[in-house]
């Protein structure tokens, strides 16, 4: 039996999966804490420990392992960058993991793995089975994106393919941790929308509370915040649509649960793209939930 092995490397937990490559049946899922505070070398040892535990429980061994990571592998330097688990930045993680577990690995960031999983075994597979180009979005505490073409992640020359969260939308916007101003992430991530609401209302609410107030219909500031979200989102996604014109867009993360993104978002998009007809691109809610990262990681090594 051919198997697929994937590991989702997060800041707090490391989760592994083994799947039947022919049926996508999950044979085992297992997670252990990352313990990132103990440093980079400890993270590598935790990965090796998890792989050993899975091998022991399944009596199977991987040919290769795919990894979903909180950052990107730079193709030129072969070092990690843009990791929010900062001890990984600048490290030759691919080489270090391969040395620790003894098999080849493939690495993609968490947004790319989300997009890959939903494109190949998730909602896109169900709704648009002939989709060739898929754009996956994570809208939550941050904003991320991933491009999948013909079932393959588009990493790009710099390893930043799909990094839509750091496209500049507002030139005079808020400063982003990346060093620029007005990135998509500073405009319509959850914390950024909360900041917008507080600025216009003088009150601090969570995004969940803002959305409920909007649904209740008695808070004009909540209504303005939702309009700001859908208008900004529509304009931001137009840059992707004009360039790659995806067959499907799938949206995960907490902000992605807001229904108006799927109704008013396409209406706003229509105002910004080079297209005279109705927007036909389906905007889809994900199917796989928290499993997308680890399933996408496993999908990275299907070709081995």
Q: Are strands 248-252 and 283-284 parallel, antiparallel or unpaired?
A: parallel
| CA-based nearest residue to 190, from 259, 147, 143, 237 | 143
Which residues make Cβ contacts (< 8 Å) with residue 75, sequence separation at least 6? 155, 157, 158, 159
Each residue's pLDDT expressed in tens, for the chain with a length of 304 residues: 999 999 999 989 999 999 999 999 999 999 999 999 999 999 999 999 999 999 999 999 999 999 999 999 999 999 999 998 899 999 999 999 999 999 999 999 999 999 999 999 999 999 999 999 999 999 999 999 999 999 999 999 999 999 999 999 999 999 998 999 999 999 999 999 999 999 999 999 999 999 999 999 999 999 999 999 999 999 999 999 999 999 999 999 999 999 999 999 999 999 999 998 889 999 999 999 889 999 999 999 999 9
At residue 276, the pLDDT reads 83
At residue 100, the pLDDT reads 98
At residue 57, the pLDDT reads 97
At residue 190, the pLDDT reads 96
| CA-based nearest residue to 197, from 228, 170, 169, 172 | 228
CA triple 250-253-257, angle to 5 deg: 80
| CA-based nearest residue to 19, from 11, 10, 7, 28 | 28
52, 78, 287 from 30: Cα distances, Å: 11, 28, 21
Q: What are phi and psi of 283, to 5 degrees?
A: -100, 115
In sign, the C-alpha dihedral spanning 212, 214, 219, 224 is positive
**Can you give 65-77 as a three-state secondary structure string?**
EEEEECCEECCCC
- pTM value is 0.95
At residue 20, the pLDDT reads 97
Q: How many CB atoms lie within 10 A of CB 34?
A: 21
Q: Which helix (H) or strand (E) holds 123?
A: helix 123-127
| Dihedral Cα 229, 231, 234, 236, nearest 10 deg | -80
At residue 19, the pLDDT reads 98
At residue 191, the pLDDT reads 96
The Cα–Cα gap between 263 and 280 comes to 12
Greatest pairwise CA separation for the chain in angstroms:
60
At residue 278, the pLDDT reads 87
At residue 142, the pLDDT reads 92
CB-based burial label for 11 (10 Å; 0-12, 13-18, 19+): middle
The Cα–Cα gap between 212 and 204 comes to 14
At residue 90, the pLDDT reads 97
DSSP at 136 = E
Asked if 168 and 183 count as a contact pair (C-beta separation under 8 A), the reply is yes
The Cα–Cα gap between 281 and 161 comes to 20
105, 140, 210 from 150: Cα distances, Å: 21, 27, 39
């Amino acid at each position: 039996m051919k198997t697929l092995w994937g590991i989702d490397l997060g800041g707090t937990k490391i989760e592994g999966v083994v799947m039947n490559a022919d049926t996508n049946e999950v044979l085992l899922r297992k997670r252990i804490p990352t313990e990132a505070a103990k440093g980079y070398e400890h993270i590598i040892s935790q990965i090796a420990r998890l792989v050993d535990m899975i091998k022991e429980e399944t009596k199977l061994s991987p040919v290769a392992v795919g990894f979903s990571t909180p950052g990107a592998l730079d193709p030129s330097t072969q070092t990690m960058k843009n990791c929010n688990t900062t001890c990984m930045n600048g490290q030759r993680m691919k080489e270090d993991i391969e040395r620790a577990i003894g098999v080849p690995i493939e690495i993609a960031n968490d947004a790319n793995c989300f997009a890959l999983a939903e494109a190949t075994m998730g909602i896109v597979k169900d709704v648009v089975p002939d989709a060739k180009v898929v754009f996956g979005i994570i809208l939550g505490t941050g904003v991320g994106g991933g491009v999948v073409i013909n079932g393959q992640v588009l990493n790009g020359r710099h390893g930043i393919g799909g990094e839509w969260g750091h496209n500049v939308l507002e030139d005079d916007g808020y400063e982003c941790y990346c060093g620029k101003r007005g990135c998509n992430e500073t405009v319509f991530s959850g914390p950024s929308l909360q900041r917008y609401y507080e600025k216009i209302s003088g009150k601090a609410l969570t995004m969940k509370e803002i959305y409920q107030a909007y649904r209740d219909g008695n808070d004009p500031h909540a209504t303005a915040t939702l309009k700001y979200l859908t208008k900004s989102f529509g304009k931001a996604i137009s840059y992707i649509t004009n360039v790659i014109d995806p067959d499907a867009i799938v949206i995960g993360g907490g902000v992605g649960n807001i229904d108006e993104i799927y109704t008013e978002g396409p209406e706003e998009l229509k105002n910004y793209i080079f297209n005279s007809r109705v927007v036909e691109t389906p905007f889809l809610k994900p199917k796989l939930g928290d499993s997308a990262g680890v399933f996408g990681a496993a999908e990275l090594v299907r070709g081995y």
